[in-house]
Amino acid sequence: MSYQLEVLEILKDVKPILLSKYPIKKIAVFGSVSRKEDEENSDIDILVEFDHSVGMEFIHLCYELENLLKRKVDLVSRNGIKEKYFKEIESELIYV
């Protein structure tokens, strides 16, 4: 199984738990993992769209994802990314 599939499977399995704990609308993987170009020390880029503004929940979610995936996670909020940068990653997004 590729690392990409492993990450997606883990996220799919824990998604109901994450949805019950955090105001998540959508979650997607992008970057080297979605392109299958990741290496052993690569981080995992994850884009999250929330129902409403979050504060410390963002940090808690990032830590939880790092613990689940056993790698550093670069968590990006859909509301926090400028449109021009979103356009650059949009084709890479793999929604869970």
3-state secondary structure of 73: strand
User: Residues 42, 33: contact at Cβ < 8 Å?
Assistant: yes
- pTM exceeds 0.85: yes
Q: What is the pLDDT along the chain (96 residues), one digit of tens a residue?
A: 789 999 999 999 999 999 999 999 999 999 999 999 999 899 999 999 999 989 999 999 999 999 999 999 999 999 999 999 999 999 999 999
For 48, the 3-state DSSP assignment is: strand
Tell me how far apart the alpha carbons of residues 77 and 88 are, in angstroms, rounded to a whole number.
15
Rounded CA-CA distance 80/26 in Å is 14
Q: How far is CA 65 from CA 5, 24, 78, 87, 88, in A?
A: 16, 13, 17, 24, 24
Give the pLDDT score at 1.
Answer: 74
Question: Which CATH superfamily hosts domain 1-93?
Answer: Beta Polymerase, domain 2 (3.30.460.10)
- Predicted local distance difference test score (pLDDT) of residue 83: 94
